[in-house]
Amino acid sequence: MTEKQRDEVKQSIENSILTTKDTIASLKELTKPISPENAIGRVSRMDAINNKSVNEAALRNLTNKLALLEAALQRVNQQSFGLCIICNHPIPIQRILLMPQSNRCVNCASR
């Protein structure tokens, strides 16, 4: 990986971290407890509870993604960054830019 590509990846990771943090903040608002005294009707309340569950799952996934992005940012300057942790082949730069938290090539990730 060239120095220019490494800088591009680092910028991509930093942008992804900011976007992920913003989305996490929004989801935290959507996952607050639903008050039982809310006069929104039985069906609407059930919908709100269901939406809350979906948002909680999305929040868990994004929290995990954020941790992986932050770990990738720590590793970006290491010589082994951009190499698959399983087969040790270079991960294509397009995959790294699309999924900077990825540490496996497509072949190893699909196994």
Percent above pLDDT 90 for the chain:
68
pLDDT in tens, 17-66: 999 999 999 999 988 887 766 556 667 777 888 888 999 999 999 999 99
- Look up the pTM and report it: 0.81
User: CA–CA distance from 88 to each of 1, 65, 72, 80 (Å)?
Assistant: 14, 23, 16, 9
Least confident of 38-47, 61-70, 77-86, 87-96: 38-47
How far is it, in rounded angstroms, from Cα 11 to Cα 9?
A: 5
DSSP annotation of 108 reads H
Which residue type, as a one-letter code, is found at position 24? Answer: I
Contact 86, 104 (CB under 8 A): yes
DSSP annotation of 35 reads P
